[in-house]
Amino acid sequence: MYAVIKVGGKQYRVSEGDEIFVEKINANAGDTVTFDQVLMIDSKVGSPYLANTTVEGSVIKNGKAKKIRVFKYKNKSRSNRKTQGHRQPYTKIKITKING
């Protein structure tokens, strides 16, 4: 059994036992989170969400991803070449139960 859920503006296809990385949410390690924006379970499709369905998971950890380099460069102009870095915060969640 699998489900498609919406978290942080993105959609994830999950099944029980999966570990997913989502945008950072306000929860500590060990907390249980419930996702009620379920778009699809197996072949049942909601419009836009399925009623009376939830996906539960437990938070494994919060962290930051690897640093990426962001360049701003203008060709043939001897202006500044700007370099910045960015580390996206994430939350790792293990899916424990799909109710639906």
pLDDT tens-digit series, residues 1-48: 999 999 999 999 999 999 999 999 999 999 999 999 999 999 899 999
What pLDDT was estimated at residue 78?
67
What CA–CA distance (Å, rounded) separates 59 from 38?
Answer: 18
Sign of CA dihedral 29, 55, 66, 24: negative
**Unique residue bearing structure tokens 């370099």:** 83
Global pTM? 0.82
Instruction: Calculate the CA 32 to chain-centre distance.
Output: 15
Q: Backbone dihedral region of 48: left (phi > 0), alpha (psi from -120 to 50 degrees) or beta?
A: alpha
What pLDDT was estimated at residue 81?
74
pLDDT tens-digit series, residues 47-86: 999 999 999 999 999 999 999 998 877 777 766 677 889 9
**Residue 46 phi, psi dihedral angles, 5° rounding:** -90, 170
